[in-house]
Amino acid sequence: MVLEIKKACKNFGGLSAVSDVSFHIQKGEIFGLIGPNGAGKTTMFNLITSMFPLTSGDIVFNGENISGRKPYQITEKGICRTFQNIRLFPKMTALENVMVGEHCRSHSGVLKSVFRTKSQRAEEDRIRKRAGELLAFVGLGDYGDVAAENLAYGQQRRLEIARAMASSPQLLLLDEPAAGMNETETSDLFQLIKKIQKQGMTVLLIEHDMPLVMKLCDRIAVLNFGKKIAEGTPSEIQNNHDVIEAYLGREEEELHA
């Protein structure tokens, strides 16, 4: 078991954004977290990455309780994420953006950086090489020297994934990776996430694109008003009465697209 969410609760003042949510993710799974707007999905990501403290409950990663750790410690343990809105460094090149993502695996201290020791140069070369490999992996091998802001939208989203992968996480959290993508970009994204899974990484994703979720995920949990209302395989979820109710009047047709 890679990740176990145990009775997670998060209150913002009087609002219960996540309420008594439990689920677990097996190694190598693509796990989808879905639900209508405001259901608590992003809050769940923020709890897993310790951007917010839990009100109560526990989060266990590889058998270790990681509740209450600092966000950088969560990254070091092997969990990395992308964000709903693109958060690249726009003026930096694609390669540099990925290199930044590797910093937490870097061993160079300040003194070594100032004097540019041999070991520091070797480490920089290693980071640059791996960043290049990651760009190629996400299909941006020819774009290393291009400023992030000059990449097409779908390319920027893939660059974000490359940057999140740069710290070699075991668990990759993707927050609405297909948001704003056209059909071709979404289909490329599907292939990319499958390729990531083949590499042995576990993926947890929030996504509103139902056809993509149903095609891509091994299992899905559904949140509504902060509570988990269902969990299962895509076909179980599509036929779950509570899920259909939750989506009624919004995206019911999409659920069966």
Ligand X SMILES: Nc1ncnc2c1ncn2[C@@H]1O[C@H](COP(=O)(O)OP(=O)(O)OP(=O)(O)O)[C@@H](O)[C@H]1O
**Residue numbers at the binding site for ligand X (CB under 6 A):** 12, 15, 17, 35, 37-43
CB 144 within 8 A of CB 93: yes
Judged by beta carbon, residue 43 or residue 49, the one nearer ligand X is: 43
Least distance from C-beta 175 to ligand X, angstroms? 8
Judged by beta carbon, residue 17 or residue 140, the one nearer ligand X is: 17
Least distance from C-beta 38 to ligand X, angstroms? 4
The two three-digit tokens of residue 6, written as one number: 């145990």
Judged by beta carbon, residue 42 or residue 168, the one nearer ligand X is: 42
Judged by beta carbon, residue 48 or residue 134, the one nearer ligand X is: 48
Q: Is 18 helix (H, G, I), strand (E, B) or coil?
A: strand
CB 193 within 8 A of CB 177: yes
The contacts of residue 104 (CB under 8 Å, 6+ apart) are 72, 75, 76, 167
Chain center to CA of 161 = 8
Least distance from C-beta 92 to ligand X, angstroms? 27
The two three-digit tokens of residue 214, written as one number: 């149903």
Q: Please state, in angstroms and rounded to a whole number, the distance separating the CA atoms of residues 26 and 62.
A: 10
Q: Please state, in angstroms and rounded to a whole number, the distance separating the CA atoms of residues 40 and 36.
A: 9
Least distance from C-beta 218 to ligand X, angstroms? 21
Judged by beta carbon, residue 62 or residue 84, the one nearer ligand X is: 84
Least distance from C-beta 79 to ligand X, angstroms? 18
How many distinct helices (H) and strands (E) make up the chain?
11, 10
